[in-house]
């Protein structure tokens, strides 16, 4: 498979769309947590907008990540910038793959707990919160380090299709 010179418009669009949906998913989860606790105790739960949002936005993220993964496998991604050390290239690529993994496993375990009533799936779902947070943080710091310290202009790769 030939290596593309840059990300396609579709890859860039999907990158920013997932990032956007992920923010409320990540920070506004109190209602779904409360709903889940109530369900486990056999009580009625408060069906707020954020409960519905969490479930459907999670399903949308799963669909978008699978679509994105298929594009990544079929089309590929550009090589990392030459200025990066071998170690940085490895960390960046590893981070990208782990983000795919978590953003596919999170909704699957969410679905298993919410629709399947599987308590252990909810525990795994919850346990993936911190690793996801750490990886997204590392990813953003890495991008900013490249942009402003190494001056590779990496952000342009996620702005303009190539």
Phi-psi sector, 36: left (phi>0), alpha (psi -120 to 50), beta: alpha
Question: CA torsion sign, 119 to 115 to 59 to 27?
Answer: negative
Binding-residue pattern over the window 95 to 134 for ligand HEM, x denoting contact by CB under 6 A: -x--xx--x--xx--xx-xx-------x--xx--x-----
CB of 2 to ligand HEM, least distance (A): 17
CB of 88 to ligand HEM, least distance (A): 10
- Select from 33, 47, 151, 160 the one that contacts ligand HEM (CB under 6 A): 33
DSSP sequence for 94-151 = HHHHHHHHHHHHHHHHHHHHHTT--HHHHHHHHHTHHHHHHHHHHHHHHHHHIIIII-
Q: Does 26 bind ligand HEM (CB under 6 A)?
A: yes
Q: Does 148 bind ligand HEM (CB under 6 A)?
A: no
Q: Does 51 bind ligand HEM (CB under 6 A)?
A: no
User: Would you tell me how many other CB atoms lie within 10 Å of the CB of residue 50?
Assistant: 19
State both tokens at 44: 């009625």
Please state the φ and ψ torsions of residue 70, each to the nearest 5 degrees.
Answer: -65, -35
Q: Which positions touch ligand HEM (CB under 6 A)?
A: 11, 15, 18-19, 22, 25-26, 29, 32-33, 36, 54-55, 58-59, 61, 68, 72, 77-78, 80, 92, 96, 99-100, 103, 106-107, 110-111, 113-114, 122, 125-126, 129, 136, 139-140, 143-144, 154-155, 157-158
């Amino acid at each position: 498979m030939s290596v593309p010179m840059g990300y396609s418009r579709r890859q860039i669009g999907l990158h920013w769309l997932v990032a956007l949906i992920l923010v409320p998913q990540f920070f506004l989860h109190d209602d779904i947590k409360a709903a889940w606790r109530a369900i486990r105790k056999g009580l009625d739960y408060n069906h707020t907008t954020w409960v519905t949002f969490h479930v459907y936005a999670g399903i949308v993220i799963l669909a978008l990540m699978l679509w994105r993964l298929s594009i990544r496998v079929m089309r590929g991604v550009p090589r990392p910038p030459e200025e990066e050390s071998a170690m940085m290239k490895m960390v960046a690529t590893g981070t990208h793959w782990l983000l795919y993994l978590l953003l596919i496993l999170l909704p699957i375990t969410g679905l298993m707990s919410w629709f399947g009533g599987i308590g252990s799936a909810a525990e795994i779902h919850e346990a993936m919160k911190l690793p996801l947070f750490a990886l997204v943080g590392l990813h953003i710091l890495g991008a900013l380090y490249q942009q402003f310290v190494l001056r590779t202009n990496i952000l342009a790769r996620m702005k303009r299709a190539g």
